[in-house]
Amino acid sequence: MDIHRNWKASARGPAYLALGVVLLFAPQILAIFGYAFLFGDWVAYVMAAISLVAGIVYLVGSFRASGVRIDESGVTWTQGPRVVSFGWSDIVRVSLSRKPNAPKRARPTQLIVWTPDGVQYPVVPYIKLQGLHGYRVADMGEIKEPAAAVINALRAYGGDRYPAPTE
């Protein structure tokens, strides 16, 4: 099963760029109607610069290759030019976890692949626990495929590495 990024995650960059352009011309547009910013026009220019930089960062990030493949050989994670293959023999478990600092009632959305401490991969682990390294390979809120399909693929290929949630 191939997991692809949703188009909504890629829409952030153009949205921030559009906001930056609107903020850039906001003082002139407000002046036409006889209004002005309370603290001065510089506020709009600072907010425009921040929005434009954020838009460029998100836009560049949306063009990077990103994807996850779950099959009989394991989990293959593509991020930018880097491709990491986690073989099922190296995977201790796969879990859906809540984001850090998320409320207790928040749905788990982070798909994390857990490997033993001794197995090294060319990426920095997202979470380190005693004896385990966790690699965040996907956010369920940013992918096209439904969560049920991803869970079914994990159960079909991973077997007992993806345990049933206990809540």
- 98-109 pLDDT, tens digit each: 887 888 888 888
Q: ∠ CA 115-116-119 to the nearest 5 degrees?
A: 85
pLDDT means per 10 residues, the chain with 167 residues, are 78 92 91 84 92 92 80 87 88 86 83 89 87 89 85 85 65
Strands 110-116 and 127-129: unpaired
As a whole number of angstroms, the distance between CA 77 and CA 2 comes to: 10
Is residue 99 within 8 Å of residue 106, measured between CB atoms?
A: yes
Instruction: Determine which helix (DSSP H) or strand (DSSP E) holds 29, and give its type and residue range.
Output: helix 12-32
Question: How many Cα atoms occupy the beta-carbon half-sphere of 140 within 13 Å?
Answer: 18
pLDDT at 167: 47
Give pLDDT, residue 23. Answer: 92
Token pair 């995650």 in the structure block, residue = 9
Q: What is the DSSP letter of 106?
A: S
Please state which CATH class domain 66-161 belongs to.
Answer: mainly beta
Model pTM above 0.75? no
Contacts made by residues 4-8, CB under 8 angstroms, sequence distance 24+:
4/67, 4/143, 4/144, 4/145, 5/66, 5/67, 5/142, 5/143, 5/144, 6/142, 6/143, 6/144, 8/142
CA 81 to chain centre: 16
